[in-house]
Amino acid sequence: MRILLTNDDGIYAPGLRALRKELQKIGDVIVVAPATEQSAVGHSITLLTPLLVQEVFDDEQLLGWAVEGRPADCVKLALMELLPEPPDLIVSGLNAGSNAGINVLYSGTVAAAIEGAFFQRTSIAVSLEYTKPKLDFPRAADLARCVIEQILAHEPATGTLFNVNIPSLDKGPIRGIRTAAQNVAPYVEKFDRRVDPRGRVYFWTAPGLVCPDPHPDTDVTALAEGFITVTPLQFNLTHGAELEQMSKWRWQL
Amino acid sequence: MRILLTNDDGIYAPGLRALRKELQKIGDVIVVAPATEQSAVGHSITLLTPLLVQEVFDDEQLLGWAVEGRPADCVKLALMELLPEPPDLIVSGLNAGSNAGINVLYSGTVAAAIEGAFFQRTSIAVSLEYTKPKLDFPRAADLARCVIEQILAHEPATGTLFNVNIPSLDKGPIRGIRTAAQNVAPYVEKFDRRVDPRGRVYFWTAPGLVCPDPHPDTDVTALAEGFITVTPLQFNLTHGAELEQMSKWRWQL
């Protein structure tokens, strides 16, 4: 099995390194990842600046390519220019920080997997809940491989897209794996307002985004309860029920 | 009616200026928009750098705020820090270039509207198909207002989200307004491979993204046929049918 591995934390991130090691147990892994950290870039792509690409080696062996671009750029370039053959599987991660609820839309990690699905490749995003700067990526990567192997054992149709979140490993033992819908309840956010030495106003996005009232049986709640969550995703944003309603509208020009 | 206007082309973009003029006919418009162009940034948000904010005036009157950040940052900041009262409506545009099909996911214009819907505000993204550098924004903005007024006349539930695309005005008369689903058929893209004077490889994303085989009755086909398209959107990416299937899976840890 040929596996393309990417992420949004950058090609030298420890999460990617740990996941690569685990994925090598189930296939040939080639990495195409951003040269630098690209967190919260969502589904950005690079249109107006060139995408510099550099081969990266791990000892003597080709690790893959570092791209001065976004996670979604990496997947596009990998599939269209860099890989000699299309991969059987695209994996994005292992991200330092969960990507559940509406954060799925901000996530560069998930966007890379969605980009893979655009190209009709089976794609899996994997993230680890963040609790402290030093995360146990090797253990999380082992759990990630365990989940990925089970997904593949069900032989999903090509182009199927999954979002996997692993709860913090500091909260106690993992309670199991649960299939869950994406939570869409709002988050509470804060900005920190400051004034610079020149009198200009600026804001910092404060950390600690919380979802005070998540919907039950969603990725956010299952993750909080200590389960690994698996959410199948799609990228058709059409609101079906609303579309049905609107088909009765009479438009005038 | 209080209207928050934003975009991804930047606060000084002619599309925003034209749309503001039209929206002032139906409400009080305040602008919170990126200080500089932010095309194809998708649903990026700014976590690691400060968001500089500057008041911008149009003659003597407050136009709004320029934010050194992404379109989604602008909506967040507007709702949480800058506006004295929440707006009744959020409009994002008028974008120079259509945002239909899978481009919806790359679009900063649409992401700003989705961000508005996260906050349960009725939000409308408006884009004009790009054919040449000089677009007729005043005419397109007049059409956009005409569509927005009809959407509002149907009193959509608060938090409803719409994506409006206006076909190129150079292709002949507009054939009407059509409600359409988002196209999810793949696009064909190309990269242009080059080598810099230092021998480093880089790629340019080539212009002219095409969707060779769009699904019928979608935003992409209706737009190509000369219709203004209106697509109701939602931001729950869960693949319902797949989730149903997966509920039968037995996971092991």
- How many other β-carbons are positioned within 10 Å of the β-carbon of residue B208? 7
Q: Which residues pair with A161 in a beta bridge?
A: A123, A233
Burial class (CB within 10 angstroms; exposed 0-12, middle 13-18, buried 19+) of A243: middle
- What pLDDT, in 10s, does the model give residues A158-212? 999 999 999 999 988 999 999 999 999 988 889 999 999 999 999 999 887 788 8
Q: Is the pLDDT of residue B118 over 80?
A: yes
- How many other β-carbons are positioned within 10 Å of the β-carbon of residue A61? 6
A164, containing H or E segment: strand A161-166
- CA A110 to CA A182: how far, in whole Å? 12
Q: Which residues pair with A61 in a beta bridge?
A: A58
pLDDT at A171 (0 to 100): 86
- Residue of chain A whose alpha carbon sits nearest to that of B227: A253
Tell me the mean pLDDT in the region B145-156.
Answer: 98
Nearest to A40 among B45, B243, B246 (CB): B45
Please tell me what DSSP assigns to residue B78.
Answer: I
ipTM of this complex prediction, to 2 decimal places: 0.95
Cα dihedral A76, A82, A84, A85 in deg (nearest 10): -20
CA distances from A41 to A45, B22, B66, B143 (A): 9, 32, 20, 32
Residue with tokens 């005070």: A212
Tokens describing residue B229: 């398209």
- CA A203 to CA B54: how far, in whole Å? 11
Q: Is the pLDDT of residue B105 over 90?
A: yes
- How many other β-carbons are positioned within 10 Å of the β-carbon of residue B241? 10
- CA B32 to CA B74: how far, in whole Å? 6
- CA A206 to CA B191: how far, in whole Å? 38
* B61 reaches A (C-beta below 8 A): no
* B217 reaches A (C-beta below 8 A): no
CB contact under 8 A, B118 and A186: yes
Query: A83 by DSSP, 3-state: which?
Result: coil
Burial class (CB within 10 angstroms; exposed 0-12, middle 13-18, buried 19+) of B106: buried
* A36 reaches B (C-beta below 8 A): no
CB contact under 8 A, B231 and A252: no
Pair A17, A137: CB distance under 8 Å: yes
Q: Name the pTM for this structure.
A: 0.96
- What pLDDT, in 10s, does the model give residues B14-37? 999 999 999 999 999 999 999 999
Tell me the mean pLDDT in the region A217-224.
Answer: 96
Q: Is the pLDDT of residue A20 over 90?
A: yes
Q: Which of B227, B8, B218, B223 is nearest to B113 (CA)?
A: B8
Residues of A in contact with B111 (CB under 8 A): 42, 105
- CA A94 to CA A145: how far, in whole Å? 11
CA distances from A248 to B9, B154, B179 (A): 34, 11, 10
Nearest to B186 among A118, A190, A191 (CB): A118
Nearest to B42 among A39, A43, A238 (CB): A43
- What pLDDT, in 10s, does the model give residues B46-88? 999 999 999 999 888 899 999 999 999 999 999 999 999 999 9
Pair B19, B141: CB distance under 8 Å: yes
Burial class (CB within 10 angstroms; exposed 0-12, middle 13-18, buried 19+) of B60: exposed
* B100 reaches A (C-beta below 8 A): no
The widest CA-to-CA distance across chain A, in whole angstroms, is 66
Nearest to B253 among A154, A174, A247 (CB): A174
Q: Which residues pair with A166 in a beta bridge?
A: A128
Residues of A in contact with B186 (CB under 8 A): 118-120
Could you check whether the bond before residue A62 is cis, i.e. omega within 30 degrees of 0? no
Please tell me what DSSP assigns to residue B79.
Answer: I
Q: What is the CA radius of gyration of chain A?
A: 19
CB contact under 8 A, B105 and A177: no
| pLDDT confidence tier of residue B40, bands split at 50, 70 and 90 | confident
Nearest to B243 among A46, A179, A193 (CB): A179
Residues of B in contact with A235 (CB under 8 A): 102, 105, 184, 237
Sign of the torsion formed by the C-alpha atoms of B207, B11, B38 and A43: negative
Tokens describing residue A187: 């988050």
Nearest-neighbour CA in chain B from A71: distance (Å)? 12
- CA A221 to CA A187: how far, in whole Å? 13
* A188 reaches B (C-beta below 8 A): no
- CA A226 to CA A182: how far, in whole Å? 16
Tell me what percent of the residues of chain B surpass a pLDDT of 90.
88
